[in-house]
Protein backbone atom coordinates (compact mmCIF):
# COMPACT_ATOMS: atom_id res chain seq x y z
CA UNK A 1 0.00 0.00 0.00
CA UNK A 2 2.87 2.38 0.81
CA UNK A 3 4.61 1.70 -2.50
CA UNK A 4 1.32 2.23 -4.33
CA UNK A 5 0.77 5.61 -2.71
CA UNK A 6 4.37 6.60 -3.52
CA UNK A 7 3.87 5.70 -7.19
CA UNK A 8 0.55 7.58 -7.21
CA UNK A 9 2.18 10.69 -5.75
CA UNK A 10 4.98 10.45 -8.29
CA UNK A 11 2.54 10.21 -11.19
CA UNK A 12 0.19 12.93 -9.93
CA UNK A 13 2.96 15.40 -9.16
CA UNK A 14 4.37 14.89 -12.67
CA UNK A 15 0.96 15.35 -14.32
CA UNK A 16 0.08 18.41 -12.24
CA UNK A 17 3.50 19.96 -12.87
CA UNK A 18 3.32 19.34 -16.63
CA UNK A 19 -0.20 20.77 -16.88
CA UNK A 20 0.76 23.81 -14.78
CA UNK A 21 3.79 24.46 -16.98
CA UNK A 22 1.71 24.09 -20.15
CA UNK A 23 -1.09 26.38 -18.99
CA UNK A 24 1.12 29.19 -17.75
CA UNK A 25 3.19 28.96 -20.93
CA UNK A 26 0.08 29.34 -23.09
CA UNK A 27 -1.23 32.17 -20.88
CA UNK A 28 2.00 34.16 -21.08
CA UNK A 29 2.31 33.78 -24.85
CA UNK A 30 -1.30 34.63 -25.81
CA UNK A 31 -3.13 37.97 -25.75
CA UNK A 32 -6.59 37.16 -24.39
CA UNK A 33 -6.10 38.27 -20.81
CA UNK A 34 -8.49 41.23 -21.02
CA UNK A 35 -11.29 42.11 -23.43
CA UNK A 36 -12.63 45.68 -23.44
CA UNK A 37 -15.43 47.36 -25.33
CA UNK A 38 -16.60 50.97 -25.22
CA UNK A 39 -18.98 53.15 -27.21
CA UNK A 40 -21.97 55.44 -26.97
CA UNK A 41 -25.63 54.90 -26.17
CA UNK A 42 -28.08 56.25 -28.76
CA UNK A 43 -30.90 57.90 -26.86
CA UNK A 44 -33.40 57.76 -29.73
CA UNK A 45 -33.76 54.00 -29.93
CA UNK A 46 -31.72 53.01 -26.84
CA UNK A 47 -29.14 51.12 -28.86
CA UNK A 48 -25.38 51.11 -28.51
CA UNK A 49 -22.69 51.92 -31.00
CA UNK A 50 -19.31 50.35 -30.41
CA UNK A 51 -16.50 52.84 -30.83
CA UNK A 52 -13.64 50.58 -29.89
CA UNK A 53 -13.12 46.93 -28.89
CA UNK A 54 -9.87 45.17 -28.18
CA UNK A 55 -8.28 42.21 -26.49
CA UNK A 56 -4.88 42.44 -24.84
CA UNK A 57 -2.27 40.24 -23.28
CA UNK A 58 1.07 40.77 -21.63
CA UNK A 59 2.87 41.60 -24.86
CA UNK A 60 0.33 42.69 -27.46
CA UNK A 61 -2.94 44.60 -27.97
CA UNK A 62 -5.27 43.69 -30.84
CA UNK A 63 -8.19 45.89 -31.96
CA UNK A 64 -11.35 44.22 -33.23
CA UNK A 65 -13.52 47.32 -33.70
CA UNK A 66 -13.01 51.04 -34.21
CA UNK A 67 -10.51 53.05 -36.24
CA UNK A 68 -7.70 50.58 -35.52
CA UNK A 69 -9.75 47.48 -36.37
CA UNK A 70 -7.63 44.50 -37.43
CA UNK A 71 -4.41 45.97 -36.12
CA UNK A 72 -2.22 44.44 -33.41
CA UNK A 73 0.51 46.44 -31.72
CA UNK A 74 3.15 45.38 -29.23
CA UNK A 75 2.84 46.68 -25.70
CA UNK A 76 5.62 49.19 -25.31
CA UNK A 77 6.95 49.20 -21.77
CA UNK A 78 9.06 52.34 -22.13
CA UNK A 79 7.26 54.29 -24.86
CA UNK A 80 3.61 54.71 -25.73
CA UNK A 81 2.28 52.79 -28.77
CA UNK A 82 1.21 54.88 -31.76
CA UNK A 83 -2.46 53.94 -31.73
CA UNK A 84 -5.69 55.87 -31.32
CA UNK A 85 -7.45 55.09 -28.02
CA UNK A 86 -10.99 56.39 -27.52
CA UNK A 87 -10.72 57.41 -23.87
CA UNK A 88 -7.88 58.16 -21.48
CA UNK A 89 -9.08 55.57 -18.95
CA UNK A 90 -8.69 52.75 -21.46
CA UNK A 91 -5.15 53.89 -22.19
CA UNK A 92 -4.42 53.99 -18.46
CA UNK A 93 -5.71 50.45 -18.04
CA UNK A 94 -3.39 49.18 -20.77
CA UNK A 95 -0.55 51.07 -19.14
CA UNK A 96 -1.18 49.88 -15.59
CA UNK A 97 -1.50 46.17 -16.40
CA UNK A 98 2.12 46.17 -17.55
CA UNK A 99 3.25 46.33 -13.92
CA UNK A 100 2.03 42.75 -13.44
CA UNK A 101 4.01 41.30 -16.37
CA UNK A 102 7.26 40.35 -14.53
CA UNK A 103 5.49 38.06 -12.06
CA UNK A 104 4.05 35.59 -14.62
CA UNK A 105 7.46 35.48 -16.29
CA UNK A 106 9.18 34.64 -13.00
CA UNK A 107 6.48 32.06 -12.35
CA UNK A 108 7.15 30.46 -15.73
CA UNK A 109 10.88 30.26 -14.96
CA UNK A 110 10.25 28.72 -11.54
CA UNK A 111 7.78 26.11 -12.78
CA UNK A 112 10.13 25.07 -15.58
CA UNK A 113 12.97 24.63 -13.06
CA UNK A 114 10.68 22.69 -10.73
CA UNK A 115 9.50 20.42 -13.57
CA UNK A 116 13.07 19.56 -14.57
CA UNK A 117 14.20 18.87 -10.99
CA UNK A 118 11.06 16.84 -10.31
CA UNK A 119 11.65 14.56 -13.30
CA UNK A 120 15.29 14.05 -12.34
CA UNK A 121 14.11 13.08 -8.87
CA UNK A 122 11.63 10.59 -10.34
CA UNK A 123 14.35 9.01 -12.48
CA UNK A 124 16.70 8.79 -9.50
CA UNK A 125 14.45 8.30 -6.48
CA UNK A 126 17.43 7.70 -4.18
CA UNK A 127 18.06 11.46 -4.41
CA UNK A 128 15.31 12.17 -1.93
CA UNK A 129 16.13 15.86 -1.55
CA UNK A 130 15.21 16.55 -5.20
CA UNK A 131 11.52 15.97 -4.47
CA UNK A 132 11.66 18.58 -1.70
CA UNK A 133 13.50 21.13 -3.87
CA UNK A 134 11.05 20.70 -6.76
CA UNK A 135 8.12 21.11 -4.36
CA UNK A 136 9.53 24.40 -3.09
CA UNK A 137 9.98 25.68 -6.64
CA UNK A 138 6.42 24.67 -7.55
CA UNK A 139 5.06 26.56 -4.54
CA UNK A 140 7.19 29.64 -5.27
CA UNK A 141 6.00 29.59 -8.88
CA UNK A 142 2.36 29.55 -7.77
CA UNK A 143 2.92 32.37 -5.28
CA UNK A 144 4.67 34.51 -7.90
CA UNK A 145 1.81 33.96 -10.33
CA UNK A 146 -0.90 34.81 -7.82
CA UNK A 147 0.90 38.06 -6.95
CA UNK A 148 0.87 38.96 -10.66
CA UNK A 149 -2.83 38.12 -10.96
CA UNK A 150 -3.70 40.25 -7.93
CA UNK A 151 -1.74 43.21 -9.32
CA UNK A 152 -3.41 42.74 -12.71
CA UNK A 153 -6.91 42.76 -11.24
CA UNK A 154 -6.29 45.61 -8.82
CA UNK A 155 -4.83 47.89 -11.51
CA UNK A 156 -7.88 47.36 -13.71
CA UNK A 157 -10.35 47.88 -10.85
CA UNK A 158 -8.64 51.11 -9.80
CA UNK A 159 -8.95 52.59 -13.29
CA UNK A 160 -12.54 51.43 -13.72
CA UNK A 161 -13.57 53.02 -10.40
CA UNK A 162 -11.98 56.33 -11.43
CA UNK A 163 -13.75 56.29 -14.75
CA UNK A 164 -16.35 59.13 -15.07
CA UNK A 165 -19.96 57.99 -15.09
CA UNK A 166 -21.65 59.37 -18.18
CA UNK A 167 -25.08 58.09 -19.24
CA UNK A 168 -24.37 58.47 -22.95
CA UNK A 169 -21.27 56.28 -22.83
CA UNK A 170 -20.82 52.66 -21.93
CA UNK A 171 -17.79 50.58 -21.05
CA UNK A 172 -17.58 46.80 -20.60
CA UNK A 173 -14.65 44.57 -19.80
CA UNK A 174 -14.11 40.96 -18.83
CA UNK A 175 -11.22 38.56 -18.46
CA UNK A 176 -10.40 36.16 -21.26
CA UNK A 177 -9.35 32.54 -21.46
CA UNK A 178 -5.65 33.40 -21.15
CA UNK A 179 -6.37 34.80 -17.70
CA UNK A 180 -8.37 31.66 -16.86
CA UNK A 181 -5.42 29.50 -17.96
CA UNK A 182 -3.13 31.43 -15.63
CA UNK A 183 -5.51 31.06 -12.68
CA UNK A 184 -5.87 27.33 -13.34
CA UNK A 185 -2.10 27.01 -13.56
CA UNK A 186 -1.80 28.47 -10.07
CA UNK A 187 -3.98 25.71 -8.62
CA UNK A 188 -2.10 22.98 -10.49
CA UNK A 189 1.33 24.23 -9.44
CA UNK A 190 0.36 24.52 -5.80
CA UNK A 191 -1.03 20.99 -5.93
CA UNK A 192 2.15 19.70 -7.54
CA UNK A 193 4.23 21.46 -4.89
CA UNK A 194 2.28 19.99 -1.98
CA UNK A 195 2.45 16.48 -3.46
CA UNK A 196 6.20 16.78 -4.11
CA UNK A 197 6.87 17.79 -0.51
CA UNK A 198 4.67 14.96 0.76
CA UNK A 199 6.49 12.53 -1.56
CA UNK A 200 9.79 13.67 -0.06
CA UNK A 201 8.46 12.95 3.44
CA UNK A 202 7.33 9.45 2.46
CA UNK A 203 10.62 8.59 0.76
CA UNK A 204 12.58 9.89 3.73
CA UNK A 205 10.45 7.84 6.13
CA UNK A 206 10.98 4.70 4.02
CA UNK A 207 14.74 5.25 4.03
CA UNK A 208 14.75 5.57 7.81
CA UNK A 209 12.61 2.44 8.13
CA UNK A 210 14.92 0.22 6.10
CA UNK A 211 18.20 1.71 7.31
CA UNK A 212 20.19 -0.83 9.45
CA UNK A 213 20.64 -0.08 13.14
CA UNK A 214 24.11 1.30 14.03
CA UNK A 215 24.63 -1.57 16.49
CA UNK A 216 24.88 -3.95 13.54
CA UNK A 217 28.12 -2.30 12.46
CA UNK A 218 29.96 -3.08 15.75
CA UNK A 219 32.70 -5.76 15.50
CA UNK A 220 31.77 -9.09 17.00
CA UNK A 221 33.74 -10.05 20.10
CA UNK A 222 35.05 -13.57 20.55
CA UNK A 223 33.91 -15.53 23.59
CA UNK A 224 36.88 -17.91 23.56
CA UNK A 225 39.05 -15.78 25.82
CA UNK A 226 38.57 -12.96 28.25
CA UNK A 227 41.26 -11.00 26.48
CA UNK A 228 40.56 -11.85 22.86
CA UNK A 229 38.15 -8.96 22.23
CA UNK A 230 40.08 -6.37 24.18
CA UNK A 231 42.34 -5.42 21.30
CA UNK A 232 39.69 -5.73 18.59
CA UNK A 233 38.02 -2.46 19.55
CA UNK A 234 39.78 0.64 18.18
CA UNK A 235 39.40 2.49 21.50
CA UNK A 236 41.89 0.11 23.15
CA UNK A 237 44.56 0.68 20.51
CA UNK A 238 47.55 2.80 21.58
CA UNK A 239 47.56 6.34 20.21
CA UNK A 240 49.62 6.73 17.03
CA UNK A 241 52.95 8.40 17.48
CA UNK A 242 54.47 10.50 14.76
CA UNK A 243 57.67 9.24 13.24
CA UNK A 244 57.28 5.57 14.29
CA UNK A 245 57.25 2.70 11.86
CA UNK A 246 54.59 0.02 11.59
CA UNK A 247 56.94 -2.62 13.05
CA UNK A 248 57.41 -0.53 16.23
CA UNK A 249 53.68 -0.17 16.70
CA UNK A 250 53.11 -3.93 16.23
CA UNK A 251 55.84 -4.71 18.76
CA UNK A 252 54.17 -2.41 21.30
CA UNK A 253 50.88 -4.25 20.83
CA UNK A 254 52.59 -7.63 21.32
CA UNK A 255 54.23 -6.35 24.53
CA UNK A 256 50.83 -5.25 25.84
CA UNK A 257 49.44 -8.69 25.04
CA UNK A 258 52.26 -10.40 26.98
CA UNK A 259 51.76 -8.09 29.93
CA UNK A 260 48.03 -8.71 30.03
CA UNK A 261 48.17 -12.49 29.80
CA UNK A 262 48.41 -14.34 33.21
CA UNK A 263 51.82 -15.71 34.11
CA UNK A 264 52.48 -19.33 33.40
CA UNK A 265 54.70 -21.66 35.50
CA UNK A 266 57.31 -23.51 33.63
CA UNK A 267 58.92 -26.75 35.04
CA UNK A 268 62.60 -27.16 34.29
CA UNK A 269 63.95 -30.69 34.20
CA UNK A 270 67.65 -31.05 34.88
CA UNK A 271 69.39 -34.20 33.74
CA UNK A 272 72.50 -35.28 35.67
CA UNK A 273 75.06 -37.18 33.77
CA UNK A 274 77.08 -39.64 35.90
CA UNK A 275 80.57 -40.22 34.61
CA UNK A 276 81.33 -43.79 33.85
What is the pTM assigned to this prediction? 0.68
- Residues near 171 by beta carbon (within 8 Å), at least 6 away in sequence: 36, 37, 38, 87, 89, 90, 160, 163
Longest dimension (CA), the chain: 166
DSSP per-residue string spanning 124-170: STT-HHHHHHHHHHHHHHHHHHHHHHHHHHHHHHHHHHTS---TTEE
Asked if 161 and 13 count as a contact pair (C-beta separation under 8 A), the reply is: no
Asked if 108 and 137 count as a contact pair (C-beta separation under 8 A), the reply is: no
Domains of the chain: 14-78+94-210 (1.20.140.150)
| From 15-19, 28-32, 75-79, 235-239, the region with the lowest mean pLDDT | 235-239
Q: Report strand pairing: 34-42 vs 60-65.
A: unpaired
pLDDT digits (tens, 9 = 90+) for 97-143: 888 888 999 999 999 999 999 989 888 877 888 889 999 999 999 99
| Per-residue pLDDT at 235 | 53
pLDDT digits (tens, 9 = 90+) for 26-58: 999 998 999 888 877 776 666 667 778 888 888
Amino acid sequence: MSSFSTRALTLLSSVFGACGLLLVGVAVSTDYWLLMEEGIVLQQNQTTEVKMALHSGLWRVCFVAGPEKGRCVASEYFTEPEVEITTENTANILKMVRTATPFPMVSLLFVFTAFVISNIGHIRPQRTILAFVSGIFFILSGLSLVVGLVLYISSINDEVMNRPREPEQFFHYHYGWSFAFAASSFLLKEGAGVMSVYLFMKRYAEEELYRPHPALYRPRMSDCSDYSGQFLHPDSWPPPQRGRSASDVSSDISIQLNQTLPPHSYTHHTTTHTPT
